[in-house]
């Protein structure tokens, strides 16, 4: 065999896709937590904002509601919305943090794969979500005597759907960040700010102006929060609403996954990395 000709084994090893290494994921999680924990914004979004939200919406329920139901609805609603909020922020700000610190090019030069990087953002998001939801739940129990499990069994599938939806939004923002850089920061906030009033987090869709009700019903979150509202008021699991929400969330998750994969291909093909140097 010609020494200059690579062997079949060498060729296969070079063409084989990189394996998923949990050690690299753990290293990225640790790096993200250490980097973000030095930023005051991290602690504000993680602890102060959930505390303020819990107190704000719980107090509104006490002031303008009759009985315990409004307080339970508002505290449960903001607690569940933070499932989406924190996961989306962790995913989008995870990449933005690398952009702001001019570290993205360094990461590309390492064996870290794109799946591992996105997985680390997801793990950080779940950790942040657990902390913020615990804060809001504690506010509900201590100040308003509202149990975090007031809605009953419906919270389990609802939380799963909300987490999947939040991660889909995070992937969408990551895809935009790859193309527009730190100018995409507004989408980290703006996407959820637009969704909150349209998804019926704190009120039925019928409370919205008629022209917006059709738009609201096309959003999977609306059906999740409808199911939670039914669980609080009637103690039943609205499986039909959850099924509609699951179908819509699956479509959005598939579209977001395709979008971020498409943006990553363009990132490599068109040399978008030069925008982050």
- Percent of the chain exceeding pLDDT 70 equals 92
Q: Which of 54-58, 250-254, 255-259, 268-272 bottoms out in mean pLDDT, i.e. has the lowest? A: 268-272
- CA 134 to CA 130: how far, in whole Å? 6
pLDDT at site 10? 47
Beta strand spans in the chain (E): none
Residue-wise DSSP of 28-57: HHHHHHHHHHTSHHHHIIIIIHHHHHHHHH
pLDDT score of 52: 94
> pTM for the complete prediction?
0.87
pLDDT of residue 182: 75
Q: Please tell me the distance from the alpha carbon of residue 1 to that of residue 10, in angstroms, as a whole number.
A: 14
Q: 241-272: buried (b, 16+ CB within 10 Å) or exposed (e) per residue?
A: bbebbbebbeebbeebbebbeebbeebeeeeb
Residue 17 pLDDT: 59
pLDDT in tens, 70-93: 899 999 999 999 888 888 887 777
Pull the structure tokens for residue 90. Answer: 């962790």
Question: 3-state DSSP helix/strand/coil percent for the chain, to nearest 5?
Answer: 80, 0, 20
Main-chain phi, psi angles of 26, to 5 degrees? -60, -40
Q: Domain limits of the chain? A: 24-276
Residue range 222-246: mean pLDDT, rounded = 92
Asked if residue 136 lies in contact with residue 52, where contact means CB atoms within 8 angstroms, the answer is no
Average pLDDT of 142-161? 91
Q: Which is more confident, 184 or 233? A: 233
Q: What six digits make up the tokens of 128?
A: 């942040």
User: pLDDT (tens digit, 9 = 90+) per residue, 163-187?
Assistant: 999 999 989 988 888 888 777 778 8
Residue by residue, DSSP assigns 195-213 as HHHHTTSSS-GGGS-HHHH
Query: Where does the pLDDT of residue 276 fall: very low under 50, low under 70, confident under 90, or very high at 90 and above?
Result: low
pLDDT mean across residues, the chain:
86
The total of other beta-carbon atoms located within 10 Å of residue 43's CB is 13
């Amino acid at each position: 065999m010609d020494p200059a000709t690579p062997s079949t084994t060498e060729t296969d090893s070079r063409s084989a896709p990189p394996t998923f290494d949990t050690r690299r994921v753990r290293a990225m999680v640790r790096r993200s937590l250490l980097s973000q924990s030095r930023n005051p914004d991290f602690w504000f979004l993680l602890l102060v904002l959930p505390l303020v939200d819990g107190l704000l919406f719980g107090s509104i329920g006490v002031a303008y509601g009759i009985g315990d139901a409004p307080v339970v609805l508002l505290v449960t609603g903001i607690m569940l919305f933070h499932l989406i909020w924190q996961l989306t922020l962790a995913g989008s700000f995870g990449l933005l943090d690398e952009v702001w610190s001019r570290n993205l090019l360094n990461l590309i030069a390492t064996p870290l794969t794109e799946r591992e990087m996105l997985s680390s953002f997801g793990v950080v998001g779940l950790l942040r979500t657990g902390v913020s939801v615990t804060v809001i739940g504690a506010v509900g129990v201590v100040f308003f005597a509202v149990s975090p499990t007031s809605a009953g069994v419906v919270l389990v599938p609802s939380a799963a759907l909300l987490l999947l939806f939040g991660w889909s939004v995070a992937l969408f923002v990551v895809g935009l960040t790859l193309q527009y850089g730190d100018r995409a920061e507004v989408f980290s906030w703006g996407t959820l700010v637009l969704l909150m009033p349209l998804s019926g987090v704190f009120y039925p869709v019928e409370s919205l102006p008629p022209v917006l009700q059709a738009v609201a019903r096309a959003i999977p979150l609306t059906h999740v929060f409808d199911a939670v509202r039914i669980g609080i008021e009637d103690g039943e699991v609205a499986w039909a609403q959850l099924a509609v929400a699951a179908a819509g969330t699956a479509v959005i998750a598939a579209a977001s996954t395709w979008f971020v994969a498409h943006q990553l291909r363009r990132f490599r093909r068109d040399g978008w990395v030069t925008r982050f140097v």
